[in-house]
Structure 1
Amino acid sequence: MTKNTIERRNFLKLVGTGIGSLLTLPYYSSALGETSTVNRNRFKIGKPQWILHNDGTFDLIAGSMHLRNCRPTIDGQSIFVRNTFMGDSPKGKRIIYELDRGFVMLDLKINSGSISIGAELSGMSRAPYWFCPLGEAVVNGVKQYFKQGQGFGGPSGLYEFQEPSAQEFGNQPGEQAWAYDSYLVTGLISAEQETLAIGTYEHSDFIQKSTFYNRPHRRGLSDRYPDVEQILFETGFVTENIPLKDDFIKLPDIYIFFGNKPYETLQHLAWNISEQMGARKDTKTSYHWDSFNEFEHDFSHEKLTELLTTLDTIDPPIMLDTILINDGYCVHGDWLDYTDNWPRGLEPAARDIFQRQYRAGVWIAPFMVSEESKIFKRHKNWLIRDLNGEPILEWEFPEGKHYALDGSHPDVQRYIQKVFRAYRKMGFTFYKTDFMDWGLKPTVGIDRYDKTKSSVQIFTEVLNIIREEIGAGSFWITGTAPYAHMIGYVDAMRVANSLNCQWTEQGVGNMLQESYNTQYFNNVFWQNDLDVISLRNENCQLTATEKTSLANWIGIMGGVVSTSDRFSTLTDEQLDLWRLLIPQERPQSATLPLWGDNHQCKLVLRRYRSPRGWGLLILNDTEQTVTETFVFSEINEENNNWVYEWKLGESVDLGNLSQITLTLQKHESKLFYLTNGNDAPSEDLTISGLRLKKVYR
């Protein structure tokens, strides 16, 4: 790709200049004096304790939090014990429970920086459907809980427990019972912000799940009043009743970290999981073009040629890494048979992309099969079926009914291997997989080829096939997927619903919630993908303010940056904004210093190394106008900052401030540049901290 020297001209302007409210005046500044650093309470890891009782129950104590009367449970019920034996183990204490049929052994371990609980089951021909080594724990001293969704779309977030209320249920029995599941990383937070983070390091065999639930009771006429109510907690594994070799199974340890800050404690556990599972967290940050949002199923080789011609002529050039051919090139399932839009197939397309010095990318949903496909018509025995042998309808698209392949079938595995091997030979080095959750079907209640393995074991076999075929150097991004089992395989993960170029609760609302509450694992497990940035005026219902807010949000977070816009339709200002969203090559995440507090607006901070400074984005994602004050000592640990209102490419000096008050209209955001000295951001400074002059040098 030709690299021209960037022209010195007034092209660095932000889309939507002048739209929305300005900052509330006056700005509040501290007394004159040198900027000083705040002596804040630093993140620390504490030491929780196990307490054993003579009846075989145990407690977990961490600061003011207390999980009482814990015990193992099988299929949601306390185990029935004939005898209990307790003693020491190499790293802590051991409890052995003798059951009518078999044994359960727990190891309560004390590790360096954490505690953990391990479990072994013996004398059982089959595993339970689910097993919790820590079950029926009565929760005390916990104000909030962090719930991590199983994957794409969540829901994830920090929540307070529901309070029971007086209520009449009329002539129907009623209750206020609830239960919330969490996966991969789970948090319990006290009123003092002490945090327990819970999760396992191994996700190749079983789903690890934690659940918060209540045990409600009512009193009074008409069940009007709430009575004494307990909040309970359990954590364990979905083991799916699979047969056990030698009537024995050893389950992964569940680790528990105790820290003084919620966000940092969750991230500390995430880093440990990342290291143990070999996460692909160091690949170059993706900056790519994706065909789907703009063209959907109507992309073609002709339109690809038009895109490449446009990119050849734009000056300064658009420094993309990858061109991704998304859905629409085939009937789903027949991944190597092409529609009329691609008369010569995808190999010539890959060559055209490669010749322009981009990665060639292709979209594949390996478990998806359309009823119109040859695979469906010829190989119905490859499909997931119900217990009557009938294929299970997975989803009905406008293109017809769709079904899921049985990943345990050897012929299905060979077919998936064939597809990815073929695309690698064609020259594709960027792969986007989708609808991966279709391949994670519980073994119980369905008819599949191999009934001896868990859904996770089968799913992992397919992941191994794909990564082996595409090669270690290929970039793999995935969507609509469970998180835990894909760590170590993928380079990027879509975390939320599609934006679809309009501001809706299901689209943008879900993206903002999930990106905010999964940022702790961005560039820890992989690069988070928040969907494409849309700047175009055509076929887009976002306002200019909303486009700017979403572009800055996605750009500053530090994950994948992508678009589907036809560059030929963008204005000069829109092209300039896209250039200023270029990410750092080496992954670098923003932080969320006010995560979990009670501000209405969302705040994101990105640190820049050279020159030393910070990018600060404050976004009002509510449906009303919001006025709020933010204190800098709570944001970047500086009593005072030189503050610039920053529109990428230009800035306004607001002075040396200790706090700032601003009013934002709905969906509006403000971007600021903070520094210790009175140094304005360079005109070519990108939101990731790059200098465009160096990029184009």
Structure 2
Amino acid sequence: MPSKRIERRSFIKLLAAGVGASLMPIRSLADLSVASEAPGPVKFKLGRSEWILHNDGTFDLISGAIRLRNCRPTIDGQSIFVQNTFMGDSPKGKRIIYELAGNSFVMLDLKIFNGSVSIGIELSNMSRAPFYLAPLGEARVEGVDRFFKQGIGQGGPSGIYDIPTPTAEDWGNTAGEQAWSYDSYLTTGLLSPENETLAFAAYDHYDFTQKSTIYNRPHRKGLYDRYPDKEEIYFETGFVMENIPLKNEFIKLPDIYIVKGNTPFDTLQHIAWNISENMVARKDTKTSYHWNSWYEYQQHFSFDQLKEVLQGFDELKPKIPLQTIQIDDCYCVLGDWLETNERWPRTMEDAAREIFQRGYRAGIWVAPFVVDENSKLFKSHPNWIIRDLDGEPILQHNFRESNLYALDGSHPEVQKYIARVFRTFRKMGFTFYKTAYLEWGLKDSYNIRRYDRDKTSVQILVDVMKIIREEIGAGAYWMASNAPFAPLIGFVDGMRISANVDADWTPGGIGNMFQESYNCQYFNNVFWQNDPDTIFLRNVNNNMSDAENRSIALWDGILGGTVNTSDRFSTLTEAQLDLWRFLQPQDRPQSALIPLWSYDAVGKVAVRRYKSEKAWGILIVNDTDEAFDKTYRMEDLTGESKCWIFRWGPEESMSLGQMSDIQIKLDSHESILLYAAENNDAPASDLSISGVKLDKYLKKHNMLE
């Protein structure tokens, strides 16, 4: 915490200057407008759903206001061609058996449980799987005005979206269209106007990509097709199976579970917990608070600079309890992971030793599927590269004037090489691993040439993930980047959820970070620790304002995922170091709530509960390019009708009185952090945004001297 406090008068001047935000004068509480259409905290409840079968073999899913009509299985986007249909009861619900041409069969089990339903599917007497199979396909959607789509992995895009509304338009001499289709992975939600939510997910993702799609079938009428006609909305959910051969001409796929809840965030988090339990997610690892080299030094980082950085950490007083120092992409030609370049010693063991001798975890960046055309690996083992059907290597990326290719994860020798790389790094002393470009290991078997064409891309990726986890050990911290989400549950401790950020506020960088961290918070510390990427505090090599730096730092800190930076601490001001200390996370993973998720489209709000203090931290960020002026109700944010409110930060706190509503004015990219207490007790001077008592922590770990 700060060695000296700013005076109260100076702090008030900072408020007036708009550092982070400005507060509108509080009039009579009765004069303030209602903040949002949110009804206040709603106790989460699971709802009931039921299956209804029709004589023609179709079926409905009825779930309150949300209804999926005339559902049927589809293969590769088309309804199955049925010769005979058999319907009846099953031990847990209803069963439909479809006899297809060629004496093959599709069997559906429509099951009912307490709090959910599920749909299971089996294929028999088929030599090969379809490419895409949807047990619930061509479902006509009723009672839905929004949907939640989850991106396949890092960068999304994920979020709650309105069902597009067709508009009248004169297309003139062109054939215009207003058709749309959106894919979602891992979890999907359909939302009613009353916020009833129907969430879909498989609980096992180790064999196939589970995908859902919501789409429309628009029609036009009138001269020049200018008027929208009847428009139907459809939904399907199933598995990408990649035409793999079926052993014994039979396969039973994982069930797809369907959960109905009365609030979107809680419903998706409920189904995420079920996935987490089934796949034994690593959700109890100590929250990562670390430094990485990339955003300060990029590929030019050297062994000498590492020692300078470590020396800077040694000189900090009081100490900062970082856990890990992670070396990023800088030490070799990509692919030749065990052969260092001229900036590093002969092996990376010396670097690991420099780090762990100072009491930190030693971290290393590896991209196991990436190989540079200039590497020895690429030249020595051309048969290890993924190729197209004509036998040509498939170029994945051009980076730093080099062509990059992907290793074939199904090749036994590639698997042995990857095992040797991670085994060697473990022997060197590395206990923190950041693996990048894991998506390159997820290549559909359908249209590429590789060693094993009898497995899906998911199965091959999972095989490699098992190898890596075994080699690094159960106690190592594993951070994944540029990765698909679903197949990595149970393997990794942390996951990058947003696109790369830079020291500049752009829609594709910082904008994407806010979008994805907000919409992926429901599985933070459920599947793993979400990593929103690095925090910038420094003044040099930074195109962002102090207010923007502060908004990003506080947002990352309050969410409860990983907290990391690349800044050289020796260049930071005392105030910047105080802000970094203020972000120190709890050892035990704890997540912020997103109370206005699905209600507010403008701005981001996150709330952190401090049980022992009987208080909450409330962060409001304007991540848009326009100023806003909004009123928030305490009941919506904390569940309490009134709270004692303090303007809060690492500098000091200032009482604003007891309130039921608060009006906030924020300029673009500004933020405000509030402390809301049940009693008129100000936050402790050493309380971090995560709830850590910093002075107590430092004293306990002998870090105050």
Identify whether the pair has TM-score above 0.5, normalized to the shorter chain.
Answer: yes
Q: What aligned pairs does 1:418-437 form with structure 2 within 5 A after superposition?
A: 418-437=420-439
Q: Which residue of 1 aligns with 2:56?
A: 55
Q: Which residue of 2 aligns with 1:253?
A: 255
Contact 2:40–2:635 (Cα < 8 Å) also in 1? no
Q: CA deviation at 1:8?
A: 5.8
Q: Whole-Å Cα distance in 1 between the matches of residues 42 and 361 of structure 2?
A: 45
Per-residue deviation, residues 142-166 of structure 1 (Å, max 9, x unmatched) = 1110000000000000011111122
Specify the code of the residue in structure 2 equivalent to 1:333. G
Q: Which residue of 2 aligns with 1:334?
A: 336
Q: Whole-Å Cα distance in 2 between the matches of residues 7 and 447 of structure 1?
A: 59
Per-residue deviation, residues 3-53 of structure 1 (Å, max 9, x unmatched) = xxx78633899998744452011255479xxxxxx9954110011110111
Q: Which residue of 1 aligns with 2:542?
A: 540
State the percentage of identical aligned residues. 59
Q: What aligned pairs does 1:54-133 form with structure 2 within 5 A after superposition?
A: 54-101=55-102, 102-133=104-135
Q: Which residue of 2 aligns with 1:677?
A: 679
Q: Which residue of 2 aligns with 1:500?
A: 502
Structure 1 residue ranges without an equivalent (≥5): 1-5, 32-37
Q: What aligned pairs does 1:434-449 form with structure 2 within 5 A after superposition?
A: 434-449=436-451
Q: Secondary structure at the match of 1:509?
A: helix
Q: Whole-Å Cα distance in 2 between the matches of residues 79 and 209 of structure 1?
A: 19
Q: What aligned pairs does 1:231-250 form with structure 2 within 5 A after superposition?
A: 231-250=233-252
2:411 maps to 1:409? yes
Q: What aligned pairs does 1:343-354 form with structure 2 within 5 A after superposition?
A: 343-354=345-356
Q: Whole-Å Cα distance in 2 between the matches of residues 373 and 79 of structure 1?
A: 49
Q: Secondary structure at the match of 2:552?
A: helix
Q: What aligned pairs does 1:135-154 form with structure 2 within 5 A after superposition?
A: 135-154=137-156
Contact 2:41–2:595 (Cα < 8 Å) also in 1? no
Q: Which residue of 2 aligns with 1:489?
A: 491
Q: Which residue of 2 aligns with 1:602?
A: 604
Q: CA deviation at 1:399?
A: 3.9
> Structure 1 659/339 Cα, relative in aligned 2: closer, same or farther at 3 Å?
same
Per-residue deviation, residues 313-368 of structure 1 (Å, max 9, x unmatched) = 11001110000000010000000011111033210110111100100000000000
Contact 2:395–2:405 (Cα < 8 Å) also in 1? yes
Q: Whole-Å Cα distance in 2 between the matches of residues 470 and 16 of structure 1?
A: 48
Specify the code of the residue in structure 1 equivalent to 2:69. R
> Structure 1 343/11 Cα, relative in aligned 2: closer, same or farther at 3 Å?
farther
Q: Which residue of 1 aligns with 2:34?
A: none
Q: CA deviation at 1:648?
A: 2.0
Per-residue deviation, residues 269-297 of structure 1 (Å, max 9, x unmatched) = 00000000000000000000000000001
Specify the code of the residue in structure 2 equivalent to 1:237. F
Specify the code of the residue in structure 2 equivalent to 1:24. M
Q: Whole-Å Cα distance in 1 between the matches of residues 405 and 138 of structure 2?
A: 38
Q: What aligned pairs does 1:15-34 form with structure 2 within 5 A after superposition?
A: 18-20=17-19, 21-26=21-26, 28-29=28-29
Pick the aligned partner of 1:202 from 196, 201, 204: 204
> Structure 1 185/444 Cα, relative in aligned 2: closer, same or farther at 3 Å?
same
Q: CA deviation at 1:458?
A: 0.5
Moved over 4 A (4+): 11-17
Specify the code of the residue in structure 2 equivalent to 1:659. D
Q: Which residue of 1 aligns with 2:4?
A: 9
Specify the code of the residue in structure 2 equivalent to 1:79. I
Q: Which residue of 2 aligns with 1:561?
A: 563
Contact 1:364–1:432 (Cα < 8 Å) also in 2? yes
Which piece of structure 1 moves more, 494-503 or 149-158?
494-503
Q: Which residue of 2 aligns with 1:300?
A: 302
> Structure 1 10/171 Cα, relative in aligned 2: closer, same or farther at 3 Å?
same
2:267 maps to 1:265? yes
Contact 2:6–2:652 (Cα < 8 Å) also in 1? no
Q: Which residue of 2 aligns with 1:34?
A: none
Q: CA deviation at 1:499?
A: 1.6
Structure 2 residue ranges without an equivalent (≥5): 32-38, 700-705
Q: Whole-Å Cα distance in 1 between the matches of residues 235 and 604 of structure 2?
A: 30
Q: Secondary structure at the match of 2:662?
A: strand
Per-residue deviation, residues 397-455 of structure 1 (Å, max 9, x unmatched) = 12411000110011110110010000000000000000000000000111111011101
Which piece of structure 1 moves more, 513-522 or 597-606?
597-606
Q: Which residue of 2 aligns with 1:279?
A: 281
Per-residue deviation, residues 507-534 of structure 1 (Å, max 9, x unmatched) = 0110000000000000000000001111
Q: Which residue of 2 aligns with 1:374?
A: 376
> Structure 1 8/576 Cα, relative in aligned 2: closer, same or farther at 3 Å?
closer
Specify the code of the residue in structure 1 equivalent to 2:402. G
Specify the code of the residue in structure 2 equivalent to 1:325. I
Specify the code of the residue in structure 1 equivalent to 2:448. I
Q: Whole-Å Cα distance in 2 between the matches of residues 62 and 644 of structure 1?
A: 43
Q: What aligned pairs does 1:571-586 form with structure 2 within 5 A after superposition?
A: 571-586=573-588
Specify the code of the residue in structure 2 equivalent to 1:625. A
Contact 1:27–1:654 (Cα < 8 Å) also in 2? no
Contact 1:532–1:564 (Cα < 8 Å) also in 2? yes
Q: Secondary structure at the match of 1:297?
A: helix
Q: Whole-Å Cα distance in 1 between the matches of residues 270 and 474 of structure 2?
A: 27
Contact 1:27–1:657 (Cα < 8 Å) also in 2? no
- Root-mean-square deviation over aligned CA pairs: 1.7
Specify the code of the residue in structure 2 equivalent to 1:80. F
> Structure 1 239/545 Cα, relative in aligned 2: closer, same or farther at 3 Å?
same
Contact 1:16–1:545 (Cα < 8 Å) also in 2? no
Q: Whole-Å Cα distance in 1 between the matches of residues 166 and 586 of structure 2?
A: 49
Specify the code of the residue in structure 2 equivalent to 1:67. L
Q: Whole-Å Cα distance in 2 between the matches of residues 431 and 255 of structure 1?
A: 33
Contact 1:533–1:550 (Cα < 8 Å) also in 2? yes
> Structure 1 340/11 Cα, relative in aligned 2: closer, same or farther at 3 Å?
farther
Q: Whole-Å Cα distance in 1 between the matches of residues 585 and 63 of structure 2?
A: 40
Residue-pair matches, total: 686
Contact 1:209–1:236 (Cα < 8 Å) also in 2? yes
Q: What aligned pairs does 1:29-48 form with structure 2 within 5 A after superposition?
A: 29=29, 41-48=42-49
Contact 2:147–2:160 (Cα < 8 Å) also in 1? yes
Q: Which residue of 2 aligns with 1:524?
A: 526
